[in-house]
Structure 1
């Protein structure tokens, strides 16, 4: 199959208007190409959309809510995201309630975090200081393909050794108390995998490094502000977006020089209809999807009444108890069961951004991990778990909106079975994502590229998968070897 058949109607077509698809489209348009984006839904944004899901005036993030990668991503730094939209950065990046009413807090300040962790403070400093001091090098290493030789080998070695330690049964050897291990386990559990593992530890190290290096920003008005900035830039440089249009076959697309797909390997197999080489198709079919999320959005009549008051300043709260309790919950999900006392990831954006809710009221975003394809509503399980650490929480609830894992997939087919990572986040699949190739974004079909979270560097609102795929397309098919300038256009 060759996308160049006939006279090209546009230079580049992008299928899927999520953050990665839009990042690819922006990059290509900035290179002077004509770009058209097709989106299945009536609106754009994918995992970075904002909507009134509960009551009028309550603005909820549909998927991603807090953006640790917004300041670290090379794409967003080149794009000047922080200059285009307002980002608020809570003083407490994330917090972790503990049994008995205490809490561990990860401040933007590494020093303050260390001070409040008591006897495990020096161990936390030794774990993170070398990474925080070289956070840009960590971002470069983790924001690319792990198969390549790292540009900063010493930082990569430090990162790797820490991942091996915290991803093995030796993960408690560094700590003697309860707070620090729980704090690290909560951030590592974002990956929806059994604990401990090297992949979960690597994710935890990355996210926690950014928490101390610059904080975890929250876009004012909602995650949709990030998408709006990219859409505005794309349109300003001649791009176009066609919504409410589902692409069922690659052959249905108009002629173009390149096609970039913000889709999963499962979708590529369907769109290519048997035209892929047998070996490549086998690799795509072998690509594994992980477990899932069930999400609940809350409209509240006031802030969450956390027993530990320090949690009220946190943009994100990891609820689940001690390291052992979270591990037990996540390992139950890994075995295909719903956890009795689940790990719950909570975002409370209206504490930093009052525009999210009517005066004096709040929005709350929460999800828990469930087996892939689950149809179980988790509203009560999530409410009960938050109530355990915030007595009276139930009385603050005005309305809820719940999505099971199946409903998460129905809303966005890239989330296969409810897997918002678009593919299991294991060490093997971080190296082989979705195939083991020097350029994993480039498919064997001439001019066709994958640019979703199923490609490196994996999940998150960072735009990097789209940016890398677009750079590959520019090099291989469009004769452009230098990355285009993405900086905000300033008036003459």
Structure 2
């Protein structure tokens, strides 16, 4: 396009939009990023919500299992850029009624010891996957079209089979056979519930198998100071290579953007259809608009005057705490969500960053990050539900609360346009929808218009702060629009 003002325009400054922008800029192209909000980062922002002086909150993602282990971030290397991460000794915890909390340590042996009689079955499940952790990562975070690197040698194929058998065991009604103790069942299911889907199910089982394996390998780290540090490092790299970011720049139609040779949208499928309204092939337009939204999350950010008073003090050692009780209780709660009912005891996620990052505490006050799973577009205030769930395992929690900010699922899109109805996954997460995301096509990133690509969590591989969706989309754009077949190095 000879009259193009810029080589590439990226809409949205979340992790995937920034991954796409950085990749394009590293290839020597001129890149502009347009962000609708007044702050950059999408689901990886850290903001002062005005709840207490100096206290900041991660408004969506807080703990990042893949920020140092996804192939994109391995190449980008945040640590080499000066980012500090805290990696708790305990990756995640599952409080249980009237018994010790189940803990997943970074170290597998420590986990097995803590689980007691249930330990050997946890070891049998995960030890074989730890020999080649990258196989699980590549299998889970591939573009679902190329042959994963893990399948390119015999040991890799063998490891994929081990991974697949374990995934299948936890996706079937027989999921209690390999994990027969309440502690191991709930520990695994708490991770599976991250996908906010049916339990058991392929999508939820795949999520848990991969993330739990990573928990026993690199751990589940968090950036010191909050998630914003990840985005800030990406913006710094983009600007160093000539790119720019403009905030308060909402894009409703392609006509709102400068002329470019490539457009990469870190948006929902629906927003992509709206931005290219009237230009998309009919079948593509229909598929994007029909892409089913997933179940939802509702968020509550607390300010506390002391740590959460967990009944089992060991719970506080975990970076992420899954508050939902037993496997059966969590499955029932998620079934309610899918059926459109607000669960009486919703699956909730909790993280107290001050435990591992003392800089987050100011004047004796500390942030607490929480959300719970609710039906799509649910207008119910989640605060009391989350407070009661935490109080169940931490009596007296209510007395530590100084202030809080509560966002129902129906209002989540106000601070992130992609989170329609509270769907933080930007579309249903199921096994089929991991493959056909957002539509069944050989190229899930192309929008069917020359130079137009979708690079958000609405594309493969899946949601999460790993940058892979944006990286894959950018590589497609480089090859098809600019004739650049080899992806540029992202190294510092």
TM-score (norm 2): 0.96
CA distance in 1, matches of 2:385, 2:256: 44
Distance in 2 between residues matched to 1:451 and 1:378, nearest whole Å: 31
**Distance (Å, rounded) in 2 between the aligned partners of 1:8 and 1:183:** 53
Counterparts of 1:241-320 in structure 2, within 5 Å, are 241-320=245-324
User: Pairwise mapping of residues 164-179 of structure 1 onto structure 2 (< 5 A)?
Assistant: 164-179=168-183
| 1:73 equivalenced with 2:77 (yes/no) | no
CA contact (8 A) 1:89 1:215 kept: yes
Contact 2:57 2:369 in 1 (8 A): yes
Instruction: Report the equivalent of 2:154.
Output: none
1:251 CA drift (Å): 2.7
Query: 2:206: which partner in 1?
Result: 202
Per-residue deviation at 1:147?
4.1
Following the alignment from structure 2 to structure 1, what is the Cα–Cα distance between the partners of residues 254 and 461?
Answer: 25
Contact 2:68 2:77 in 1 (8 A): no
Separation of aligned partners in 2, 1:198 and 1:247: 35
Root-mean-square deviation over aligned CA pairs: 1.2
- The residue aligned with 2:400 is 396
Query: Structure 2 CA distance, aligned partners of 1:266 and 1:406?
Result: 16
Q: Verify the 8 A CA contact 2:264 2:452 in the aligned structure 1.
A: yes
1:160 aligned to which of 143, 159, 164? 164
CA distance in 2, matches of 1:281, 1:363: 42
Do structure 1's residue 19 and structure 2's residue 15 form an aligned pair? yes
2:216 aligned counterpart, secondary structure: helix
Match of 2:355 in 1: 351
Could you say which residue in structure 2 is the equivalent of 1:135? Answer: 133
Equivalence for 1:38: 34
Q: Distance in 2 between matches of 1:76 and 1:470?
A: 15
**Separation of aligned partners in 2, 1:72 and 1:120:** 28
Q: Secondary structure of 2:52's partner?
A: coil
Aligned to 1:111: 109
Distance 1:155 1:393 in 2: 44
Q: Quote the residue 1:90 is aligned against.
A: 88
Aligned counterpart, 1:49: 45
Question: Given that residues 320 and 349 in structure 2 are in contact (C-alpha distance below 8 angstroms), is that contact kept between their aligned partners in structure 1?
Answer: yes
- C-alpha distance in structure 2 between counterparts of 1:50 and 1:106, whole Å: 27
The answer for unaligned runs of 5 or more in structure 2 is 152-156
Aligned partners of 1:167 and 1:196 also within 8 Å: yes
Distance 1:244 1:317 in 2: 35
Match among 384, 389, 393 for residue 385 of structure 1: 389
Give the Cα–Cα distance (whole angstroms) in 2 for the partners of residues 156 and 360 of structure 1.
48
Deviations 1:173-214 (A, max 9, x none): 113321010100111001111211111011011110111011
Find runs of 4+ consecutive structure 1 residues off by over 4 angstroms. none
Consecutive unaligned residues of structure 1, counting only runs of 5 or more, are none
Report which stretch shifted further, 120-129 or 464-473.
120-129
**Alpha-carbon distance in 2 for matches of 1:421, 1:147:** 21
Whether the 8 Å contact between 1:294 and 1:404 is mirrored in structure 2 is yes
Partner Cα separation in structure 2 for residue 156 and residue 145 of structure 1: 16
Quick one: distance in 1 between partners of 2:4 and 2:148? 38
Q: Report the Cα offset of residue 236 of structure 1.
A: 0.9
2: CA distance, partners of 1:149 / 1:120: 36
| Cα separation, 1, equivalents of 2:280 and 2:262 | 16
Aligned length: 484
Separation in 1 of the partners of 2:432 and 2:393? 36
In 1, the alpha carbon distance for the partners of 2:159 and 2:45 equals: 34
Indicate if the aligned counterparts of 1:93 and 1:108 stay in contact, CA closer than 8 A: yes
Deviation at 1:358, TM superposition (A): 1.1
| Matching residue of 1:189 | 193
Whole-Å separation in 1 of the counterparts to 2:52 and 2:385:
22
Aligned to 1:336: 340
Determine the C-alpha separation between the residues in 2 that align with 1:466 and 1:175: 36
What residue number does 1:146 align with?
144
C-alpha spacing 1:183/1:76, structure 2 compared with 1 (3 Å): same
Are 2:129 and 2:159, in contact at CA under 8 Å, matched by a contact in 1? yes
State the alpha-carbon separation in 2 of the partners of residues 422 and 374 from structure 1: 16
Task: Give 1:452's aligned residue.
Answer: 456
